[in-house]
Amino acid sequence: MIIDLPSTTTSQVNRKMVELRERGGAVALGRVLTLVIVDDDGEHLEEHIDAANEASREHPCRVIVLARGSRTAAARIDAQIRVGGDAGASEVIILRLYGPLASQGQSAVIPLLLPDAPIVAWWPSSGPKVPAQDPIGELAQRRITDSAAERNPIRALAARRKAYVPGDTDLAWTRLTNWRAQLVAALDLPPYEKVTGATVTGEADSPSTELLAGWLAEYLKVPVRRVKTTTAQGIVSVELERRSGAIALHRPDGKVGTLMQPGQPTRRIALHRRNTKDCLIEELRRLDPDEVFEASLQGLDKLASGSVGAAKKKAPAKKPAKSAKASA
């Protein structure tokens, strides 16, 4: 069910939510959190709502979407409420703020928050320089950004590192889960030798590749080279050097990886680039600070001496505010 409330107020939206709950039997107490989506771009708004709806099937929540309208228009709020089949296992409230209200997102969100429920803020396109100091970020226990969706992903990732506060996370990090799991599993197999060095190859503007290299540098305590390429997207390969031979995980096509290591048969592994829905579901599973992500951000400082410049052909310029697609 979709209900439009043009030129409304947050009080009217709240009253309508209570009316729908009494009529349909939906229980707000069944929601485990409030997810606030801040989408200044608006071009891919429906994609982001769809991802939140899918995530709500595992994490029932109230989704509040802030879609800022023209700042030169008259002050008003256009709201839309989605429940039932149009909202997954959540209830979706879309607020379009116009005029002076466009910069008052916090004031519009507070009356609609669920009582005693954790708050997660998500910026699926361009995020604030310091998420914890953003008016919406100040309300949230967890703050999710996506460096890959920024105009300059590597610069955005560097800004995230400098501004990190416990509770911050980035979908560029979440896209690494399968890579990290495969590498850890490979190191658990004989021969149990110390890694002496590592090489991580990936797209020149892939923040996930940077984070993977930072993670290896921080936890293996070895030199890590970051090699940039323009022949493929996202992460292409990882090689861990050991005395008996290297552990090599290659994924040139973004779908299937090949794992090679001494004394073991070559294996093909499903290593698809993760989509936004899967990453969001994973991030909503935890509301505590991610210490491993923080350590990996600090590991970026250890790559400077061993990094290799971009490949021969210059990487294409980044398009502004791209869609929330997988980039690892």
Domain ranges of the chain: 2-145, 171-313
Q: Which of 36, 252, 226 is nearest to 143 (CA)?
A: 36
- The overall average pLDDT reported for the chain is 89
Residue 90: what pLDDT? 83
Residue 63's SS3 state is strand
The pTM assigned to this predicted structure is: 0.89
For residues 114 and 90, the answer to whether their CB atoms sit within 8 Å is: no
Q: Which residue has the tokens 């008052």?
A: 104
Residue 223, preceding peptide bond in cis (omega within 30° of 0): no
Q: Which residues of the chain have pLDDT under 70?
A: 24-30, 304-327
How much is the pLDDT for 31? 83
Taking CA atoms, 272 is separated from 169, 253, 312, in Å, by: 21, 9, 27
Q: What is the pLDDT of residue 325?
A: 52
Helix (H) or strand (E) holding 185: helix 177-187
* Neighbouring residues of 196: CB distance < 8 A, sequence distance ≥ 6: 222, 241, 242, 243
pLDDT at residue number 55 = 93
pLDDT value of residue 67: 93
The per-residue pLDDT for 232 is 86
Backbone angles phi and psi of 141, in degrees to 5: -80, -35
Q: What is the pLDDT of residue 305?
A: 46
What is the CATH code of the structural domain delimited by 2-145? 3.40.50
CA pair distance 108, 18, nearest whole angstrom: 17
